[in-house]
Amino acid sequence: MSGSEIGAELSKRAEHAEDILKTFLPKEEGYAKRVIEAMNYSLLAGGKRLRPVMMLESYKIFAGEDADESVVAPFMAAMEMIHTYSLVHDDLPAMDNDEYRRGRKTTHAVYGAGMATLAGDALLNYAFETAIKGAVTGKKLSSYDGDTDNRYFAALKVLSEKAGIYGMVGGQCADIMAENSTDVPKDEMSDILSYIDENKTAALIESSLMIGAILGGASKSAVDAMEKAGSGVGIAFQIQDDILDIVGDQEEIGKPVGSDEKNNKSTYVSLNGMEAATLKVKELSESAKEILKELGVVDSFLGDLFEYLIYRRK
């Protein structure tokens, strides 16, 4: 597929993921109505739905193209809720202080910083409510050869760890601490950035691929391979984000450019240069595709999606 064809196919699959997400939205009623409105506003702001799309593709690779999507659907919704909460909090005045996300006003710009903070908290909690309900009511799955033989428990373990202090939250912490760190030696800053990219961005992509594989019937070794692929793709995705923050078009990417420079953030681009960053994205994406081939996965949309990360402009 060409870059434009992959983009069109991703949009189609993102619409399907969004339709699934909508079935799990909380009702806007009662005394908590305002925070639920803010939650739903955040969730329905559009976007690539990259993580739930990846999760579904990973699931079908191992379970079969016609496999029952109800097994993975609650986890797809939960993943997007977790990703969205992180964006809501990232945009807050105390963090990146951005007023636009995905082409429209951010949650705090519409509902205020306090309600946006609550909406982020609520999305994280509701993500686990949704995933746990799916695990409790889901159909029986085959035994898993990991730490637990229950595939739902294994999926929940991955979801919680990759979203927490040993995953995304840990990466966000390191990201904040690295701001304005102008006196850190280049080698040390390179290590810090690797940790940030691996955890702040890659962790949820790894989680999406791993959960899809676990629920789809994959072995522990195959799940580990998908984690490694997710790491490469996630880091490539973050570096490409860093590139677009410099050369991207605000209308095309749907958020302000220049945020990294404004916040005095070190990135792979600022540390290694644009050419090296572009080559690194290509190298990591191709490495992830090679892992799929080693698993016997050829001519898959997931592989095409990994390649698309090289060419995306938003």
pLDDT digits (tens, 9 = 90+) for 194-233: 999 999 999 999 999 999 999 999 999 999 999 999 999 9
* pLDDT (0 to 100) of residue 145: 97
What is the distance between the alpha carbons of residues 28 and 173, in angstroms, rounded to a whole number? 32
> Which range is least confidently modeled, 43-52, 189-198, 283-292, 300-309?
300-309
More confident residue, 175 or 80: 80
CA distance 49 to 258: 24
Q: Does the pLDDT of residue 251 top 60, yes or no? A: no
Q: Is the pLDDT of residue 254 over 90?
A: no
The pLDDT score that the predictor gives to residue 261 is 53
pLDDT at 260: 55
CB-based contact 288:225 (threshold 8 Å): no
Among residues 228, 238, 302, 249, the alpha carbon closest in space to that of 57 is found at: 302
Confidence at 182, pLDDT banded by 50, 70, 90 = confident
Task: Collect all residues with Cβ–Cβ distance below 8 Å to 49 and sequence separation of at least 6.
Answer: 13, 14, 17, 18, 21, 80
CB-neighbour burial class of residue 156 (10 A; exposed 0-12, middle 13-18, buried 19+): buried
Residue 16: other Cβ atoms inside 10 A: 15
User: Which of 15-29, 112-126, 220-234, 241-255 has the least mean pLDDT?
Assistant: 241-255
What's the Cα-to-Cα distance from 224 to each of 51, 115, 145, 211, 247, rounded to whole Å? 17, 39, 12, 11, 35
**Quick one: pLDDT at residue 264?**
58
Task: Give residues with Cβ within 8 angstroms of 203, minimum separation 6.
Answer: 162, 163, 167, 168, 171, 234
Give the residue, 107 or 246, on which the prediction is more confident: 107
Is the Cα dihedral 305, 310, 313, 314 positive or negative? Answer: positive
Q: Report helix angle 73-90 to 151-163, nearest 10.
A: 10
Between 313 and 26, residue with greater pLDDT: 26
Mapped onto helix, strand or coil, the DSSP state of residue 104 is strand
For residue 191, the surrounding DSSP H or E stretch is helix 186-196
Domains and CATH numbers, the chain: 3-311 (1.10.600.10)
What are the pLDDT digits (tens) for 161-171? 999 999 999 99
CB atoms within 10 A of CB 165: 12
- 3 state DSSP class of 39: helix
Task: Grade residue 253 by pLDDT with cuts at 50, 70 and 90.
Answer: very low
For the chain, what is the mean pLDDT? 91
For 60-116, how does the pLDDT look when each residue is reduced to its tens digit (9 = 90+)?
999 999 999 999 999 999 999 999 999 999 999 998 889 988 789 999 999 999 999
Q: How confident is the model at residue 279 (pLDDT cuts 50, 70, 90)?
A: very high
pLDDT attached to residue 82: 98
Can you tell me the mean pLDDT for 173-194? 86
Tell me the per-residue pLDDT of 136-161, one tens digit each, with 9 for 90 and over.
Answer: 999 999 999 999 999 999 999 999 99
Q: What is the pLDDT of residue 270?
A: 87
* Residues in CB range of 108: below 8 A, 6 or more apart: 88, 91, 92, 93, 115, 116, 117
Alpha-carbon gap, residue 19 to 91, rounded angstroms: 25
Q: What is the average pLDDT across 230-238?
A: 93
Statement: the pTM of the whole predicted model exceeds 0.75: yes
Q: In the structure, what pLDDT confidence band is assigned to residue 263 with cuts at 50, 70 and 90?
A: low
Share of the chain above pLDDT 70, in %: 93
Which has the higher per-residue pLDDT, 252 or 275? 275
What's the rounded Cα separation, in Å, for the pair 50 and 80?
Answer: 9
Residue 215: both structure tokens together: 């629920």
CA distances 78 to 18, 54, 171, 270, Å, are 12, 13, 20, 34
Residue 266 sits at φ, ψ, to 5 deg, of -80, 140
